[in-house]
Structure formats: structure tokens, C-alpha cells
Amino acid sequence: MSERPIVVRGGHVVDPVNAVDTVRDLLLVEGRITRVAPEIDEVPDDALEIDARGLVVTPGLIDPHVHLREPGDEHKETIASGARAAAAGGFTAVVAMPNTDPPIDTPASVGYVLAAGRRAGAARVHTTGAISIGLRGERLAEIGEMVEAGAVGITDDGHPVMDSGLMRLAMEYSLNFDIPVADHPEDLGISAGGVMNEGLVSSRLGLRGKPNGSEDIHIVRDLIVAEFTGAHLHLQHVSTAFGVEMIRQAKARGVRVSAEASPHHLLLTDAAVEGYRTEAKMNPPLRSEADRAAVQEGMIDGTLDIIATDHAPHHYDEKEQAFDDAPNGIVGLETALGLVHTHFVRTGRISLSTLVERMSAAPARAFRLDGGTLSEGAPADLTLFDPELSWTVDPSRFLSRARNTPFGGEELVGAPTMTIVEGRIVFDGR
């Protein structure tokens, strides 16, 4: 690294891995954190001084569930635009999903994503590889070679693995490579044709519903397979109360499972679909108030140990359609920190330290990423944010190519100020 050293002074450093939650200075040299101390006097002559007084300084946030749409759907997002959106949202790393067109199911395509991510020069771009060739759920993809090429996990996200036998093989095979097997839990037989949560709202709107059971069945199946194979299961975007409870029980039994809560499942219910609002259409769907409460409780107690956005960009033409025809998903990278900070930290439901645990330390552990901590010697990946800054979500200002969010116009408190990746400032919102 030819970057100048950086010294970050006087910020409120929150680093749960090292039980730090106080004012510290940090010195970043050659892409690494070289010193963390109450006051750092000796710094290299050419060091860049950053005044972080009044700001919170955390290990860089990591979003382990994003759709960057490249290759194939660059009109929605590119790896570069997604990496810049991530940096603007305070994320220093993202994990891309492989359901692109063509899918990421070979070592060559893993290499393509990683190279494009490096070229973007914003947040770090990691990627998962597909579980099955073509995401077809039939035969295992070349998982070992994809891991050698840099894949940090496997998933057929968006295409639930319907064959339990294939899921068993994927989990067993994953043990050789120490990677998580991530699953979008959904029984497509039960959810067939559904476009929103099944409940009173769907009955009234005349929209076809996906019952909780379609998700619950696969959560339970995946937990069972993880338990007898001993593999690391990573459950994506858990949205049901029963699912949360099953994960809680499995963790108590010692099953190796990590699980995501998304900001939208933490904050919204299927009432947001009223008026056929396609920006509230996602999969899994927004569910009932009881489910939302259970997802919140699970996130707070750590059953759902990770907050992940499921950033899913779409072009506005695609969302500007009849509800049945609009695609699933919302963007999340540029709203996640503000939403979680406003609705959970400022309300006292979680501490800043827990926010960092859920949005940095835990995702780093789950995907074995270097980071998630401000230890000396760790990568110089930092997020600085202003915990008092009030702002209004304005999708037209997103760096993402897409604007599809149900949170437009929301008043939030807490916004990223600066994002540093490998000792380099990749976003500066000062």
C-alpha cells in the first residue's frame, strides 16, 4: 500500500471482539491497524489526521447478503455501483450472491466477480458460489475450485434447494472446505405462485399468499441436515416466529447455525403492501406483527446473530408494474445503518456494541472474513458514523443504480461519515 498512514483521533471506538467501548485513537499503516490506544503520540510524519471526536468508530460493517446483478443485469446494478453504494452506507465489505445471469457457479466466474470488485476500489467485494450447477438444484457445482478461487460460502439463494438429498451432499462436502452453506429457506410447493405473505391482507387484496409454513419447513429441514452432518448452516433472511424459535432451540443443542435478520423484516409487516406497493414486495415476504416481533426478539437475543440487507436492486420500470408482475426485493445498503441505529440503538433495545456485533463481527465470523474487529494487526477496515446526525432517506441520492426502497422519506438519526477500506478512504461524507 502506498497510501499515507492515517490516525483516527478521539472517536468513540466500539469493538465488541476486544470489549472496547470508549474513546480511543487508531493508527492505520499499510492497510493494517497498527495501534489502538487512549492517545497515540508517535505517528509517522506523513500521517493523515482524522478528527473523529463526536463520531462512533467501528470495525467496518459487513453485509453478507447482497445482489450486485453483474453479470447479466447491469441495468439494475453493477459490481462497481454496488460496491460504492456499500461504502456510502458504511459497509467495508459485502458478500455477493451467485444468482446472476449467468450464475456464479464456476471458479472463473468467482474470479470475475472478485476482480471487478477490486477494480471498483470501494467496499471489498466477496462472493459466494452456487451450491448447484446453474442454480438448478440438481448436481453440486465445483465447490472446491470455487473456494480456491476465493468464494467464501455457497448458496443457491433465490432458488431454494428443494432436494433434501442435495442439501445433505452440499453440507457434507462443505466440511472439507470450512465454508458455510447458506440457504434461502422456502418450500416452493407450498409457496407456489405466492407474491406476498399469506394472511388477512393477502386475502383482502386478492393476492396469492406464501404461508409461514413454506419457510418454516425448510428452516427445520436445514437444521436437521446441519445437525446430522455437522456442517455450518447459514439461514438467510429469517422472517417467521416459528423459524426463529427453531433456530434458538437448535443453537441450544449445539447445531452450527448462523442466521440473518433483514432491516425490513425487523421493521415492516405485510401492512406495507396495502395499496399494492411493489416496493414492499420481497421474498421472503413481509409478514405479520407477531413475526416481526419475533424477528426483533431473535435479533436482540442473538438467535439471529447477523443483520443482512438482502440488497436487491431493480430498475424502476420493473417495479412500476402490477404487483403480480413486479420482481421481489428492495435495496438496503444505504439505509441499513441508519435504520438499525434509529430503531434499535436510539430506542435502547440494543447497545452500539450489539449493533457492531450483528453488522460486523458476526458476519466476519460466519464467512471467515478477515475483519470484524479493530485488533492491532487486523485489516484497516473502519466505519465512522455520526450518531446524532438526522437525515431523510432520499432514494434519488443513492449511489446504487436502483431506487426501490419502502423507506423513502423516513427520518433517521445516525449516518455514515467515513468508510475506510484497507487504510484507504473509500467514502467521505464529511
Partner 1 sequence: MASALGKDLVGLEYLTRDQIVSILDTAEPFKEISERRIKKVPVLRGKTIVNLFFEASTRTRVSFEFAEKRLSADTVNISSNGSSVVKGETLVDTARNLEAMKIDMVVIRHGSSGSARFLAERIPSNVINAGDGRHEHPTQALLDLLTIRDHRGAIGDQRVCIVGDVLHSRVARSNIHGLLKLGAEVAVCGPRTLLPRGIEEMGVRVFNRVEDAIEWADVLNILRLQLERMEGGYVPSLREYNHIWGVSSERLAQAERELLILHPGPMNRGVEIDSDVADGPHSVILHQVTNGVAIRMAVLYLLAGGSPETAEAAKGGVEA
Question: Rounded to the nearest whole angstrom, what is the least distance from the CB of residue 245 to partner 1 in the complex?
Answer: 21
Determine contact, residues 252/244, Cβ cutoff 8 Å.
Answer: no
The catalytically annotated residue of 15, 291, 310, 386 is 310
C-alpha cell of residue 106:
464456476
Q: Which is nearer to partner 1, 206 or 348 (CB)?
A: 206
> CB 198 → partner 1: shortest distance, Å?
6
Catalytic annotation on 156?
A: no
Q: Which residues bind partner 1 (CB under 8 A)?
A: 198-200, 202-209, 211, 275-276, 317, 320-325
Q: Is the sign of the CA dihedral 98, 101, 105, 110 positive or negative?
A: negative
Q: Judged by CB, which is closer to partner 1: 195, or 355?
A: 195
Cβ-based nearer residue to partner 1, 240 or 354: 240
Polymer length in residues for the chain: 430
To partner 1, the closest distance from the beta carbon of 217 in angstroms equals 16
Q: How far is the CB of 322 from partner 1 (least distance, A)?
A: 3
Question: Which residues on neighbouring strands pair with residue 55, listed in sequence order?
Answer: none
Closest approach, Cβ 240 to partner 1, in A, equals 15
Cell numbers at 156, concatenated:
443457491
CB closer to partner 1, 11 vs 285: 285
HSE (side-chain half, CA atoms, 13 Å) at 381: 25
How deeply is 232 buried, as exposed, middle or buried, from its count of CB atoms within 10 A (0-12, 13-18, 19+)? buried
Question: In angstroms, rounded to a whole number, what is the distance separating the alpha carbons of residues 422 and 146?
Answer: 24
Our CB check for partner 1 shows the closer of 19 and 322 to be 322
Kindly tell me which of 81 and 278 has the beta carbon lying closer to partner 1. Answer: 278
Q: How far is the CB of 134 from partner 1 (least distance, A)?
A: 26
Report the alpha-carbon angle 300-301-305, nearest 5. 80
CB burial readout 262-288, b (16+ within 10 A) else e: bbbbbbbbbebbeebebbbbbbbbbbb
**What number of other Cβ atoms are within 10 A of residue 9's Cβ?**
18
| Residue 397: CB minimum distance to partner 1, A | 25
Q: Which three cell numbers stand for residue 112?
A: 470475475
Nearer to partner 1, 117 or 211 (CB): 211
Cβ contact 190:213 at 8 Å: yes
* Contact of 335 with 406, CB cutoff 8 Å: no
Q: Is 126 exposed, middle or buried (0-12, 13-18, 19+ CB in 10 A)?
A: buried
Cα–Cα distance for residue pair 290/293, rounded to 1 Å: 5
Peptide bond into 102 cis (omega under 30): yes
Catalytic residues: 310
